[in-house]
A and B are shown apart, each in its own frame.
Chain A
């Protein structure tokens, strides 16, 4: 390669390297701000803001949903800590037990959030209902088999 082109290539490489580093440091510094929601563990640990609304995300605990008209209360967990979420309004179609959700709300106690909005997350798995059902039974049978083998 002739020297002028080489020099240009180096300069561009240097520019991109510097830019990449600067971006990395900036993103690193704002890491917490780039998180869309707090997991329940952070809320329990007191990391969530106490005086203004924030978002909390996790899984809706199976069997914890209590409905009374449009008022709904449920447990939200990240499998480490659990908090109670209260909400008044219409839930998205994908809201169901065991499903991931993100709620916007304020703290009303150490483990209680009053939400003004509930959004449903969906996962990255795509399959027809019968496959999902087969997987679920296979999983349950697998666990049963393992328990029996351990006995």
Chain B
């Protein structure tokens, strides 16, 4: 009962705005703390790799960023679904707030992958299935941003964006399984494969800490964007005007 009531309350812009504002500093603080621990552990204390030496350390940024690029897409598509079927206004707000953050993480994954590829593979870029599908994910994010920006009415725009986001969901399993379905230059999954992850704990632990830090960072930034979006959408309503008057005092 408690959780149902919580979600109901979070559907109210006014309540969401206030609660999100309380959470953001904690999320950001925890994310920063974990990021420092994860990166120092990964970049300084984790052992060198038997094949790749120190170059593999870029994975402490690359892998969490790539995970986030897909996770955020799923959050965006799910929020879109909530807004389409149940007409949940907060669903629209969350969905459109996800896109720029997801695009940034995708770009980060592509860029760090490229920097990793040059010394290890011998090339910045190849058109194999994994790299290409990740690039398509980036374009999907850009498409969502552009589509929302192109439609004047925010509610209509959000609905169009939700449909585009849902259509793009087919790309997510393709990205994940591309390294199994086809032969690629990119190596197969290390952590999510059947059986034990083929990475030693002293490398795995900083990687997972970093991934958690990225996740908390995303939650903090998506709440920040959602608050902004709410203020802009509701700028002529009572609660925003009250809020502004209270701030002015």
Contacts and interface: CB of A to CB of B under 8 A. Distances in A.
Interface of A: 5, 8-9, 12, 15-16, 19-20, 23, 27, 31, 34-37, 39, 57, 91-94, 99, 102, 117-129, 131-133
B81 A12 contact: yes
Contacts of A5: 85-86
Given A127-B50, A132-B50, A37 B121 contact: no
B211 to A, nearest CB: 15
Contact of B50 (A36, A37, A124, A129): A129
B183 A39 contact: yes
Nearest to A136: B50
B9 interface: no
Contacts of B169: 16
B193 interface: yes
Nearest to A126: B199
A122 B190 contact: no
20 contacts: A8-B84, A27-B181, A31-B182, A36-B127, A92-B122, A94-B51, A94-B120, A99-B51, A119-B126, A119-B185, A125-B199, A126-B59, A126-B199, A127-B200, A128-B47, A128-B48, A128-B49, A128-B50, A128-B202, A129-B48
Contacts of A126: 49, 56, 59, 190, 198-200, 203
User: Which 4 pairs between the two chains have the least Cβ-Cβ distance?
Assistant: A92-B122, A128-B47, A132-B50, A36-B128
A118 B122 CA distance: 8
A20 B166 CA distance: 11
Nearest to B50: A132
B26 to A, nearest CB: 33
